[in-house]
Structure 1
Amino acid sequence: MKDGPDIARIAALIGDPARANMLVALLSGRALTATELAHEAGVTQQTASTHLARLTEGGLLRQERQGRHKYHALASEDVGHLLETLMGVAAGSGHLRSRIGPRDAALRKARICYRHLAGEMGTQLYDSLQAQGLLDCEDGPRLTPAGQGFMRDFGIDLDALRQGRAPLCRDCLDWSERRKHLAGSLGRALLSRIEALGWARLRPDSRIVEFSRDGERAFAKCFPI
């Protein structure tokens, strides 16, 4: 490819297994240290530091400092969207791990994808909003007038979200469901609100979102299939 963006460079950065594992670990939205990411990648800390430098230089990661500690996070929501899409392509092409662990079912049910809800619960939310006439997805997802009223009643400050740089609504291909879930600033706000209501919590050191029994019932009532 002689003209346009250099996709080969980005593909090469993601294509290394250790770097890919680091990037996927950061889909939780948490910023992690080099030591934590070395553990995720199964490499030494020195090797991890080399990988992290390349990912940062390539624009896929950003660094945050807190006191003496340095943390690493995905550079933007676009990077998270790219990773989730690649995972969907890999799953659809049959490129899956040969051994399925006990966490896989929980990940498929509900997980965090760069601060918004993914998995079965995420696609249910997206489909329900559309079915209720709250989300118009004909030309890219956007809230209908009824949807705006619903979100305000649900405790979402849409005016504050619109002041941010991120788009309010965007869709993201869910790798396990092969359908769309809701991303953008609204997707993040909905997950934060669900957590604030006590319906669900993010499992420590994981991307799994755990719903309580009461929380799952409340979610199903609010976002029916």
Structure 2
Amino acid sequence: MTTKTPALGDSDIGVVAALMGEPARAAVLMALLDGRALAASTLAAEAGVSASTISAHLARLVDGGLISVEASGRHRYFRLSRSEVAQALEALACLAPCRPIRSLRQDTHARAIREARTCYDHLAGRLGVALLEALVRDGVLVASQSKRARESDPILGAGRSFDYLLTDEGRSRLLGLGVQLVSSSRRPLTRYCLDWSEQRPHLAGALGGALLLRFLDLGWIVRGERRVVKVTQSGRSHLAQEFGIVIDG
């Protein structure tokens, strides 16, 4: 006797939307959007809830497959389960209204996060968008119109969706900078995210992650508070020299 596999219908996005839509859980997911693992106590502070309440929210997010948990001794740390979760959060941020600014600290952070930030494990904000544009302009990447563009990409619109391909010259140039170019069947070398603050693409994929790590190793950028990335004085000089990216200020 053969067992018939039940037919599957459309994706049930309501399940994921309900998990993301609760304010405390949304705050947790946004806090984890820089790709790092954080302790429950840190996430409770980010969400503004008690330790017992955050435990229940984290359990639901783990069960729903949006975050994973790692043990280190007696402590547990949480991170986004995969890059697709970060991509979904960034896409939602493009649709979501901005929160009102009620303090000088909030205003300072809002400006900084738009200037340069991490989106999971790659650069975003003005710096991330400028980097992708520079890589295409300099021939490191070639933007070729994708099949999605011909079929009207739902995010970028018809004629604005591209596949970004690494050229041979670009590969040599990036290897010369010490960028580790590793891709796998699970993760493409290049992919774009639509940047929620700039409304233009920034570079994701394995190459986007490798560039972030290399810039950190070189000391061109340093991590700041809550996903913010700060460009160092050395970074200003080298980004201008290598990629023609001029950082104001």
TM-score (norm 2): 0.83
Alpha-carbon distance in 2 for matches of 1:33, 1:123: 31
Deviation at 1:137, TM superposition (A): 2.2
Partner of residue 221, structure 1: 241
Q: Displacement of 1:145 after TM fit?
A: 1.7
Letter paired with 1:98: P
1:202 maps to what in 2? 223
Task: Kindly indicate whether the alpha-carbon contact (under 8 Å) linking 2:25 and 2:57 is maintained by their aligned counterparts in 1.
Answer: yes
Match of 1:141 in 2: 164
- Aligned equivalents of 2:240 and 2:95: distance in 1? 29
Offset from partner CA, 1:114-173 (integer Å, 9 cap, x none): 111111110000001111121122231221222211211111232xx1257321111011
Match runs of 1:55-94 below 5 Å:
55-90=61-96
The residue that corresponds to 2:134 in the other structure is 128
Secondary structure at the counterpart of residue 201 of structure 1: strand
> Are 1:124 and 1:223, in contact at CA under 8 Å, matched by a contact in 2?
no
Among 6, 9, 28, the residue aligned to 1:3:
9
| 3-state SS of paired residue (1:137) | strand
Contact 2:219–2:234 (Cα < 8 Å) also in 1: no
Q: Which runs of 5+ in 2 are unaligned?
A: 1-7, 147-162
1:224, CA displacement in angstroms? 1.8
- The AA in structure 2 aligned to 1:149 is S
Q: TM-score, normalized by length of structure 1?
A: 0.92
| Residue pair 1:18, 1:42 contacting (<8 A) in 2 also | yes
2:4 maps to what in 1? Answer: none
CA distance in 2, matches of 1:214, 1:36: 31
Match of 1:189 in 2: 210
| 1:211 corresponding residue in structure 2 | 231
Aligned position for 1:43: 49
Residues in 1 aligned to 2:185 and 2:241: alpha-carbon distance in whole angstroms:
30
In structure 1, the partner of 2:111 is 105
Deviating runs (4+, > 6 A) in structure 1? none
Output the CA distance in 2 between the equivalents of 1:201 and 1:133. 27
In structure 2, the residue corresponding to 1:62 is in which secondary structure? Answer: strand
Q: Which residue of 2 aligns with 1:179?
A: 200
Distance in 1 separating the partners of 2:14 and 2:185: 31
The letter for the 2-side match of 1:10 is V
In proportion to residue count, which structure has more helix? 1
Q: What number of residue pairs does the alignment pair up?
A: 217
SS of equivalent residue, structure 1 residue 102: helix
RMSD: 1.5
Larger Rg: 2
Give the alignment partner of residue 173 of structure 2, picking from 150, 162, 166.
150
Name whichever of 213-222 and 161-170 sits farther off: 161-170
The amino acid of 1:54's aligned partner reads R
What secondary structure is seen at the aligned counterpart in 1 of 2:107? Answer: coil
CA distance in 2, matches of 1:71, 1:97: 28
Q: Per the alignment, in what secondary structure is the counterpart of residue 98 of structure 1?
A: coil
Partner SS for 2:68: strand
Percent identical residues: 45
Task: Name the amino acid aligned to 1:114.
Answer: Y
Offset of 1:45 from its aligned partner? 1.1
Letter in 1 for 2:187: A
